[in-house]
Amino acid sequence: MKNQNIITIILTILLAITSITATPLYYNIHLQSQNQEITIISIDIEFNQQNPENFYNPIINTQILELQDFNNKQLLKTNFTIPNIEISDNLNNKTNQFISGDTTTLNQTTFNIYIPYNKDAKQLKIYNQNNQELTTTSLAHFSTNPQAKNHIDKTIPTQQETTETQTKTKTQQPKQNYIWIILLIILIILIIILLITIRKKK
């Protein structure tokens, strides 16, 4: 009975680790829009099981985000919309019935967009709907590509100089996925040894 309990606990841990390693990584990009200009405030890398979708309305405030590799080739291209429009309802004070709706365009807003992590990404670029480049920032600090070492110390002009400093603190995060895989392999080996030992005792 005790041996069965041990096996159950180990299998539970194994399933939990397997679930974590199967969870995809995403860039969580925190942006600020002010007077039709976009600034990258920070970029994090995080596990996300929910397959996040970015707000996109092709009619208003369409922006283009592009990931490029170390040969400046496109890895990913996606559209998103700046959520700077507020919708309000005008109601009748007596009947509380809807009369009309108003829209307000905000001069400044902050928001987040998510894109899948890519170990070969060198940089991120954002364009407006006229394909004019708005901002660029380096992603080399997040990359596990061997070429990344040659680009980490090179400055890529951005609208926010602190972005480079903020991303340096996140360099090791992509490697966490490999650590979990190693732990998973070790755990599988331990389970095999334990099962062999139990069978010998029987």
| Cα–chain center distance at 9 | 32
Residue 115 half-sphere exposure toward CB, CA atoms < 13 A: 22
Q: What are phi and psi of 54, to 5 degrees?
A: -85, 150
Higher pLDDT, residue 11 or 131: 131
Paired strand residues for 40: 31
Among the ranges given (9-18, 33-42, 156-165), the one the predictor scored with the smallest mean pLDDT: 156-165
Structure tokens at 106: 């905000």
What gap in Å lies between CA 55 and CA 64, rounded to an integer?
12
Which residues, other chains included, contact 1 with Cβ-Cβ below 8 Å and sequence gap of 6+? none
Whether the predicted pLDDT of 72 surpasses 90: yes
Structure tokens at 80: 């998103």
- Greatest mean pLDDT among 86-95, 100-109, 160-169 lies in 100-109
Write down the pLDDT at residue 160.
42
At 17, the pLDDT band (50, 70, 90 cuts) reads low
> pTM for the complete prediction?
0.63
| Burial grade of 112 (CB within 10 A; 0-12, 13-18, 19 or more) | middle
Task: For residue 144, give every residue at least 6 positions away whose Cβ sits within 8 Å of its Cβ, in sequence order, or none.
Answer: 119, 174, 175
More confident residue, 91 or 173: 91
How sure is the predictor about 184, in pLDDT bands with cuts at 50, 70 and 90?
Answer: confident
